[in-house]
Amino acid sequence: MGETKPVGKKQKFIFVTGGVLSGVGKGISAASIGAVLQAKGLSVSIQKCDPYLNVDAGLLNPAEHGECFVTIDGAETDLDLGHYERFLDLELTQKNATLSGKLMQNLIADERAGKFGGKTVQLVPHLTGAIQDAITEAADGADVHIVEIGGTVGDYEGLSFVEAIREFAGRVGRENCLYVHVVYVPFISTSKEFKTKPAQNALMDLRGFGIVPDCVIVRTDTPAPDSVARKISMFSGVNQDAVVLLSNASTVFEVPMTIAKSGVHDAISQFTGNIKKPKLAKWEKIVTAHTAKHRKSVSVGLVAKYVDNEDTYISVLEALKAAGWQEGVGVDIHWINAETANKKDFDKVDALLVPGGFGGRGIPGKIAAAKYALEYKKPYLGLCLGLQVAVIASARRAGLKTANSTEFDADTKNNVVYIMEGQEGKESTGGTLRLGNYDAKLIRDTRTAKTYGATKVTERHRHRYEVNQAFTDAIEKGGLMISGTSPNGKLVEFVEAIDHPYMLATQAHPELKSRPNRPHPLFVGLVRAVKR
Ligand code: GLN
């Protein structure tokens, strides 16, 4: 293993772990620290280590784990990578998502290939060594590399990661490592007090694994008094200045500013030797746009299967918000349950959005939404599955009553969406989708090309089925035209409605490329189409 791999001398590593419970904003904290470092002029890279045994996040239930975020090179990852991209404006890759399953798979393959020369293969040092190698690789020459460890410290499955980041200090020097622990402090409403005990125990657990944190971020639902920080400082031995109280923010993009004002900033300034004041204008602008009182709001109906589950559609929601901030309007999301969706639901909103999805549940409602958008000229944005249901709706309008995707009706003769030749037989396993960046050429003067302001675009994909171009005539007769394809013309990448205020759909996931300060043009287009 590569225990002796050289590491750039001055490179700094920040490790973000969590205690008490997960899902309280460790990812946002890690990303916000990165944003502050960038604002101080440092280059930053970032990585998520997930201790569960999945090889990637592709087959995880989105209702439980949230959205599956896809990188440019096609890694199916945890939604935290989406936060990282939005906060740091980076395009991450496979190496920024490290999962136990992937590392173990490689280790076992190496063992089978006889690469260990008779040694006993063990979690320590082999898995911990592989984790450290993965960290070194992802660090990629940046001034500061941030590593977030998923789950909470003490979880059985995460122990190798905690041990690996402890050992890492031996590799690169303790002075080049900063450990940040994010804990949750609940407010007990009956006694009206914040309870720090679980956080104290979580810090004790971390110390038990040989890591004394340099900073503690204390998450609370409502603002907590300084006495909470004092108590945590006393019980953890962490200087009170480095214990930061972070209550829920009105927008997550406020967190970099909170971090910049806090003791964490002093700690990272000292740690990196960079004492510059961070330039936070970008974040100030976003927060101002977010808190502005709008004269006008637009409503977007999100026709979805996992209703009310924001994490499942987080990048879509962030892209809509960002478009609203740029356009100076509020965007109200109306969740429309795809399983019961009908005309009454569609009537109530200014625009419809059908996001990505897999499987047959809720498909009739999504097709109905697309049909409604075509017939009533309601602005519509279709993302991946949202394109496929639009194509089905259009072909059905043209008289092909059984038009369908073979994903939902394997035997339909009118397979307007299907698995292309050469792709069959790969339907049931993970990692067999069209994933990551693909180029597309757009037809000049279409609304799609005009909305992008370009005729060549690159977008990220995550899907298996494609539009069947044998049905182009029927699709056009029903009201849609193909406005963009793969460079060789074989794959349909974009469709748009003919003679319609704004109905655009893409086989890709443009939401993944949207940034809070640079919303994606297709989302801006939707918001513009409805703001009057
Ligand atoms: N289920 C569809 C496919 O596999 C769409 C996938 C998606 O929306 N990401 O092609």
* Domain assignment of residue 6, yes or no: no
Q: Are residues 212 and 325 in the same domain?
A: no
Q: Are residues 244 and 353 in the same domain?
A: no
| 282 C-alpha to ligand 1 centroid (Å) | 34
Which pLDDT does position 66 carry in this prediction? 86
* Domain assignment of residue 22, yes or no: yes
> Nearest residue CA, atom 5 of ligand 1?
385
Which pLDDT does position 55 carry in this prediction? 84
Backbone angles phi, psi at 484, to 5 degrees: -160, 145
Q: Are residues 263 and 409 in the same domain?
A: no
**Ligand 1: nearest atom to the Cα of 466:** 10
Q: Are residues 281 and 397 in the same domain?
A: no
Domain end point (choices 233, 254, 285): 285
| 387 C-alpha to ligand 1 centroid (Å) | 9
**Ligand 1: nearest atom to the Cα of 386:** 8
| Catalytic residue list contains 215 | no
Q: Are residues 277 and 301 in the same domain?
A: no
* Domain assignment of residue 3, yes or no: no
Q: Are residues 155 and 61 in the same domain?
A: yes
| Catalytic residue list contains 511 | yes
Residue among 384, 407, 463, 493 flagged as catalytic: 384
* Domain assignment of residue 1, yes or no: no
| 476 C-alpha to ligand 1 centroid (Å) | 22
Which pLDDT does position 2 carry in this prediction? 45
Mutate to test the pocket of ligand 1, among 460, 464, 468, 507 (most ligand atoms within 8 A of CB): 464
CATH code, domain with 407? 3.40.50.880
Q: Are residues 239 and 350 in the same domain?
A: no
Domain of 477, in residue numbers: 293-531
Q: Are residues 221 and 313 in the same domain?
A: no
* Domain assignment of residue 100, yes or no: yes
Mutate to test the pocket of ligand 1, among 358, 407, 438 (most ligand atoms within 8 A of CB): 358
* Domain assignment of residue 403, yes or no: yes
| 335 C-alpha to ligand 1 centroid (Å) | 20
Which pLDDT does position 171 carry in this prediction? 95
Q: Are residues 246 and 298 in the same domain?
A: no
Q: Are residues 273 and 382 in the same domain?
A: no
User: Parallel, antiparallel, or unpaired: how do β-strands 243-247 and 12-18 relate?
Assistant: unpaired
Residue among 145, 463, 500, 509 flagged as catalytic: 509
At 323-340, the pLDDT tens digits run 999 999 999 999 999 999
Concatenate the DSSP letters of all residues of 320-371 into one string: HHHHHHHHT-EEEEEEEETTT--HHHHHTSSEEEE----SSTTHHHHHHHHH
Contact yes or no for 434/462 (Cβ under 8 A): yes
The number of folded domains in the chain is 2
Q: Which pTM was predicted?
A: 0.93
Q: Are residues 268 and 314 in the same domain?
A: no
For residue 69, what are its two tokens? 């975020």
Domain end point (choices 224, 255, 285): 285
Mutate to test the pocket of ligand 1, among 69, 305, 312, 384 (most ligand atoms within 8 A of CB): 384
Euclidean distance between CA atoms 268 and 35, whole angstroms: 12
Euclidean distance between CA atoms 218 and 229, whole angstroms: 8
> Nearest residue CA, atom 6 of ligand 1?
463
At 100-115, the pLDDT tens digits run 999 999 999 999 999 9
Counting as low any pLDDT under 70, the low residues of the chain are 1-9, 422-431, 532
**Ligand 1: nearest atom to the Cα of 355:** 8
CATH code, domain with 184? 3.40.50.300
Enumerate residues lining ligand 1, CB below 6 A: 356-358, 384-385, 388, 407, 462-465
Q: Are residues 411 and 515 in the same domain?
A: yes
Domain end point (choices 229, 263, 285): 285
